[in-house]
Amino acid sequence: MDEYHDIWHFRREAKWRLDNATEIAGCNRFDLLGAKARRPIVKSLATISVARDLLGMRQASMQNRWRLLVELAADKPLALGFVQVFGALRGLGVDLDADYTTLCRNLNAWEAHQPPLVVTGHGERTKARAPMVMIQVPFLTQWLLWTAEARALSIAEPRGSLDFKAISRIACQQIPLGLPPPVTSRLTWSEGSRLLG
């Protein structure tokens, strides 16, 4: 399997990066990715205007499913942009207010988008096909990890590092433009100010 599409590799790497950030800061996951840290990222990625204008989702029902998926993929610090699918997609369909067929169609469209809006992982093949067992929103994972790492540096090296407010403002400004996180989470105040204009 192409490693770019290996959701299991992405999940292991994301957990490792979060654990590494907690070690750098000498704190726990909630200090780095508590609700206050995750909420602005989720709101920025799940707005109607981002879903419609940036991601090309014209229908209000699809925009709502996107919002619910993003919220679910960031519902706790360790979620990191991943949603575990237990049983079958029908159960996830209830959470996302979609019937099985519509949800499959949406996930296929989102995965075919360039770059992919979601990546799916499948379990062992049963009689007919391999069931979907995990979904990742890669853009959400990138921003959550950048935020955790930037906040870890802010705690570990407060002099010259961005504070939590600036970290959040950078995410809220860049996400609606479809921009990935900065290459490094080790930004100085002047570099952060340039990003914020």
State the residue for tokens 């007919």: 128
Could you tell me the pTM of the whole model?
0.91
Which residues are within 8 A (CB) of 149 and not within 5 positions of it... i.e. 6 or more apart? 17, 21, 24, 185
Does pLDDT of 127 surpass 80?
A: no
**Which letter does DSSP use for residue 188 in this model?**
B
Six-digit token string for 144? 């959550």
pLDDT given for residue 37 in this prediction = 97
CA atoms within 13 A on the CB side of 119: 19
Q: For 80-94, write each residue's pLDDT tens digit.
A: 999 988 767 777 888
Each residue of 102-117: pLDDT tens digit?
Answer: 999 999 999 999 999 9
Check residues 49 and 194 and name the one with the higher pLDDT: 49
Distance, in Å, from the CA atom of 139 to the CA atom of 165, rounded to the nearest integer, reads 21
Q: At what angle do helices 138-156 and 7-25 cross, to 10 degrees?
A: 10
Give the 3-state secondary structure of 50-61: HHHHHCCCCCHH
pLDDT tens for 53-71 read 999 999 999 999 999 999 9
Percent of the chain whose predicted confidence (pLDDT) is above 70 = 91
**For the segment 9-66, what is each residue's pLDDT rounded down to a tens digit?**
999 999 999 999 999 999 999 999 999 999 999 999 999 999 999 999 999 999 999 9
Spatial separation of the C-alpha atoms in residues 5 and 196, rounded to whole Å: 32
